[in-house]
Each structure stands twice: as structure tokens, then as C-alpha cells.
Amino acid sequence: MRALIAFIAALFLIGPAAAQLRTDWTRTVTITPGGTYVLGNPQATRLVEYVSYTCPHCAHFVGEASEPLRNDWVRKGTLSLEVRNAVRDPYDLAAAVLVRCGNKNHFFANHEAMFASQDAWMGRVQSYEAKRADMPTPKSASEQLISIATGTGLTDFFAKRGVTVEQQRTCLADKKTLDALGAMAKDAWEVKKIGGTPSFSVDGKMVDGAHDWNGLRPALPVSPK
């Protein structure tokens, strides 16, 4: 009986700090007013990644850093991760639109999968680019993006990930999404004046000279045990 009473009493002694430790913050995805996606505790130290889906260095970073960032920082609530697209070209734009198409909780899985398949996809981009001169001129930006998605295999890639072709076409024609990505790119290249991708900021301060996991890691808060 004494043990039972002690157990019940202990339940009432569990405070907010203990509750936070029980929260798996990798299950929390929010969208900022600017249209960027954030993984983790919105009140935590904010790591911003400026990335491009046609950037091989970004693919290497995401492949190397995503797991330790999730497990050692984001999951424990000490760091949140925000992705900002620093779009470089129409292929990058088409990928960026489709990665965010559909359920917001699928964004980070799609983001990582897009980079994991980059080598194969970029090979299709090169084939598409070689044939582009012989194709009819697109009548609109959305028509161009749809052509890119179809011709480079993005349509099939995201259909297998549960985004229907109809959903994809709607997303590729969505002005709000295109405007948000354009604003992100302008902020990255013209306002922040990043030197390339990937680039990073921690709590609003750019991390000078860091363009990979080894360069970024010393700028992060100490990971809790």
C-alpha cells in the first residue's frame, strides 16, 4: 500500500520540464506565415537551412545531418529545424513545390527523399534539358513546371509517395506557393546574401563559413543527454 501511495504522489510531482522530456518533438510540424516548414518545438533555438534541390552539397548535408539533428536535438525539444528554399532554377522550383504538396506532416519525409534520389533525378533533368529545344513553348509558368515534373520523373516519384497527379498539377499552378518560394529565394540571395547552398542561421544569426555538417555542428546548442 505504501508503494502505491508513493507512486500516486510521484505522479503529481511531474512538472513541465519532465513533460517536455516525454514529448517527441519530431512529430510536430508547423508552417510559418512566410510558408516555410518547421520541425520541432517552435519555442526552441531555431536552425534555418537554406537549401536547393539541385545542389549536390545540400543532398550530402541532408543525408549526413538529418538523423543526428532529429535524434540528438529536435526530438528533445532543444532545437527546431526550419527549411527555406533558396531556389536556383526551374527544376529546383518544381521540386520545391511538389515536396510541400499535400499533408504538411509529410514535408520532411518528402524533403529527405527528394535529396536521397537526387543523383537519379538529375540524370533525368539532363535528358529533359537536351530535348527541351524541340518541345512546344509552354504558355505559362505552371505549364512549364508541369512539363518539367512529367519529363523528369517527379510526377511518378510523388505519385508513389501518395500525391495524386491532380494534386500535383494544382500545387504547380498555385500562385500563393510560387510567390512564397520566390520570396524565400529573394530573401536568401538578395537580403541574406548567402554565398551558396547549403547555408545556415541559428536563432537569426548566419553561421559564417559553414556549408556542411562539420562546419555547422559547433554552432548548435549543446545536445542534452
Q: Report domain extents, the chain.
A: 29-219
pLDDT at 131 over 90: no
Confidence at 225, pLDDT banded by 50, 70, 90: low
- Residues 103-124, mean pLDDT to the nearest whole number: 97
Q: Which three cell numbers stand for residue 40?
A: 520541432
pLDDT at 17 over 80: no
CB 51 within 8 A of CB 58: yes
First-residue to last-residue Cα distance in the chain:
34
**Closest among 166, 147, 165 to 157, alpha carbons compared:** 165
Classify each residue of 64-79 as buried b or exposed e, where b means 16 or more C-beta atoms within 10 Å of its C-beta.
Answer: ebbeebbeebbbbbbb
Q: Which three cell numbers stand for residue 199?
A: 547555408
pLDDT of residue 21: 53
- Residues 30-42, mean pLDDT to the nearest whole number: 97
pLDDT of residue 207: 97
Residue type, 60: H
**82 strand-pairing partners:** 38, 48
Q: Looking at the domain that runs over 29-219, which CATH code has it been given?
A: 3.40.30.10
Q: Where are the beta strands (DSSP E) in the chain?
A: 29-31, 37-39, 45-51, 79-85, 199-202, 205-206
* Cα-trace Rg, the chain: 20
pLDDT tens digits for 92-101?
Answer: 999 999 999 9
